[in-house]
Structure 1
Amino acid sequence: MALLAIFRFLAGDNRHTQPPGLLPDQAERWGQRKGKLMARFELGLWNAWLLSLPFLLLMTFMVGLKKDLIKRMSDMTGYTAREKFFTVSASISPYLFIVATIWVPLISLPSLLLCGLLTYFLGLALCAASLQVIIKTPPGELFTAGPYRFSRNPMYVSATIVFMGICLATGNLILSCYLALAVWLQHFMILAEERICEEKFGWVFEDYLIKVPRYLFIV
């Protein structure tokens, strides 16, 4: 179904292209309406939920392969009240983003839609690879294989890339602003996780901190 939606857009099923033969005042009203697309919300079949759903199903399937994974990922033992606030807020924010995509139409500009899709699938692939490492690593051990050789937090990076792809594929400014807020919350959650890991793994994690960036490349 998602591919069908993509083909409809790329094939020129453009519901927001200015119709031919409009009078000047009609063209102006159409331009104003088109400008509102950047912050447009409406229920529809060809909305961004078509992209959110595969991501959600992937996460559910991979997490379901290991019963104790949710418990491991949600453990906040040793967190301060402030760290718990950011962790809970950051953990909830992706689900609110996914729910919001039910009302966000995919953009009708083929170039931006294609750019968004490429970004989305890149994030999806990185997410699957990261989850595989998490599932295969025995409890109590540090994640250092696969994408964790290049990023200390590839799971969060991949989810951000997926959501960035969705924002591009919709061209929705409000959704993009919400993503920026979610990433900000996520940063403080990651700082809390790193503090706990440093206490738990000691010099092993400190060495890992030196060798591998928090996010990607030099960051």
Structure 2
Amino acid sequence: KKGINIMEIFPAFEIGWLNGWIFMLIFFLIFGIVIKTCPKEVITRLYDNKGWTRTQYIFTKLAKLCALIHLILVIFTPLNIGSIEFIIGISIFLIGTIGFVIAVINFKKAPLDKPITSGLYKISRNPQIMTLLLVSFGTSLMIGSWIAIIIIIVSAIFLHFRILGEEKRLTQQYGDAFLEYKKKVPRYFIFF
């Protein structure tokens, strides 16, 4: 039966070795290794939420809640190995994971007193969030779950409002340098 399933709204939950948790574990191990190589001031910059509004905190918490629900779905849902969705999903997952590592390395190498404008930040003002969404979307396809995809879309909407607030703070922090960067580079990718 494995490999012939198509996307389901609510795939069956079960505890197993061939569930989506394998890929999330791989991603989190890679994430941990990459973050461990960052100096303390880079990590502080990465998680800086000074000046956030109450709305930003709320949207961030809602996005994290969606991520937690998605993680639970992935942990307890078997991989749909052999399906076209699995093949597409693993490809998207790998692109997202590699992109995330590159984005964090770009972030790590950037001067602390300027907006980050090199590497993936040349094509997106938010490559870490975009690649993280790719990882989650790819995993959702690998488990063949429409509900997991819907949860990621809802999370992306919440993250959009967080990003809008971050950009206000970055404009205040970096002034004209960030405004010029905003004119040249899309918020997400290519055209938007």
TM-score using structure 2 length: 0.89
| 1:157 positional shift | 0.7
Of residues 134-143 and 86-95 in structure 1, the stretch that sits farther from structure 2 once superposed is 86-95
Match of 2:97 among 91, 107, 124: 124
Q: Percent of aligned positions with the same letter in both sequences?
A: 26
Partner residue of 1:74? Answer: 47
CA distance in 1, matches of 2:30, 2:65: 17
CA distance in 1, matches of 2:136, 2:126: 16
Note the alpha carbon deviations across 1:39-94, whole angstroms, 9 max, x for none: 12221110011111111112111111123343322222112111221133334543
| 1:16 positional shift | 6.7
Instruction: Kindly report the root-mean-square deviation, in angstroms, between the aligned alpha carbons of the 2 structures.
Output: 2.0
Q: Does 1:44 align with 2:16?
A: yes
Runs (4+) of structure 1 exceeding 4 A deviation are: 34-37
CA distance in 2, matches of 1:74, 1:112: 33
Query: Contact (CA 8 Å) 2:80, 2:142: kept in 1 or not?
Result: yes
After superposition, where does 1:64-213 map in structure 2 within 5 Å? 64-66=36-38, 67-91=40-64, 93-213=66-186
CA distance in 2, matches of 1:65, 1:76: 21
**Residues 142 and 95 (structure 1), Cα distance of their counterparts in 2 relative to 1, 3 Å cut:** farther
TM-score using structure 1 length: 0.79
After superposition, where does 1:5-16 map in structure 2 within 5 Å? 14-15=1-2
| 1:110 positional shift | 2.5
Q: Return the letter of the residue paired with 1:45.
A: W
CA distance in 2, matches of 1:141, 1:59: 24
| Structure 1, unpaired ranges of 5+ | 1-13, 18-33
CA distance in 1, matches of 2:32, 2:130: 18
CA distance in 2, matches of 1:79, 1:37: 38
Note the alpha carbon deviations across 1:99-128, whole angstroms, 9 max, x for none: 431101111443221111111111111111
Higher relative contact order (CA 8 A, sep 6+): 2
CA distance in 2, matches of 1:69, 1:102: 30
CA distance in 2, matches of 1:109, 1:134: 36
| 1:144 positional shift | 0.7
Match of 1:61 among 33, 51, 54: 33
